[in-house]
A and B are shown apart, each in its own frame.
Chain A
């Protein structure tokens, strides 16, 4: 069966510090991978999605970036965090090129920028 892992579960970082969140998927190959952010009391905002190694699409301009160094690994990064980067970050995967494939989410990372 497929599983998705995100870490860390919680993170407190000072403004201006770097960020690296990791997500890995097991039990499937060539997945679509996604990073979402959920701000407090708000809905989900798609940040990045990837359909293959090295292929990243950015949905919103910001100081975050994403990379996919391996087929089942997706990394969210920042060189300098802002207060507005605080939120709940969710990684997700879906079956590639399957338009009825739902997203399967990890348990999320709660990021607090102080």
Chain B
């Protein structure tokens, strides 16, 4: 079945860039998403990328997709303490209504 994997933790200094990585196995993935979860809250959609794109930029966020290696990354420029949260990548295949989520990466930003 489909599988989505992420590293569990990332710690960065305020003002630096953060790069959160994700790998997936479903070669028929059409859309890939990044969600943010703050403590005790639901998931907030940050951005998404269609599988025929290599890159998408949205203000401080840059998404890179390497479809050949099935690798997705989220870069946050000028990381702030308010960016501290768990970040989930998720993918949806070509013939399904279901999102498959990664395990989540906990980003900690320290001053």
A28 CB → nearest B CB, Å:
15
**Residue A110 at the chain B interface, CB threshold 8 Å:** yes
Contact (Cβ within 8 A) A44 B101: yes
Given A99-B30, A105-B42, residue A43 in contact with residue B103 (CB < 8 A): yes
Q: How large is the interface on B (under 10, 10 to 19, 20 to 34, 35 or more residues)?
A: 20 to 34
A contacts with B, residue count (CB < 8 A): 25
Of chain A, the residue at the smallest CB distance from B46 is: A102
Q: In the complex, A43 Cα to B100 Cα: how many Å?
A: 10
Partner of B97, one of A43, A96, A108: A96
**Residue B82 at the chain A interface, CB threshold 8 Å:** no
Of chain A, the residue at the smallest CB distance from B104 is: A43
A72 CB → nearest B CB, Å:
16
Instruction: Point out the residues of chain B lying under 8 angstroms from A34, CB to CB.
Output: 98
Most buried by B among A6, A105, A110: A105
Q: In the complex, A11 Cα to B42 Cα: how many Å?
A: 16
Contact (Cβ within 8 A) A44 B94: no
Q: Please report B residues at the A interface, Cβ cutoff 8 Å.
A: 30-31, 33, 35, 40-45, 48, 50, 88, 90, 92, 94, 97-104
Q: Please report A residues at the B interface, Cβ cutoff 8 Å.
A: 6, 32, 34, 36, 42-44, 46, 49, 51, 90, 92, 94, 96-97, 99-100, 102-108, 110
List 22 contacting pairs A-B, 8 Å CB cutoff, sorted by A.
Answer: A32-B97, A34-B98, A36-B101, A43-B102, A44-B88, A90-B42, A90-B43, A92-B43, A94-B97, A97-B97, A99-B30, A99-B92, A99-B94, A100-B31, A100-B48, A102-B48, A103-B45, A103-B90, A105-B43, A108-B40, A108-B42, A110-B40
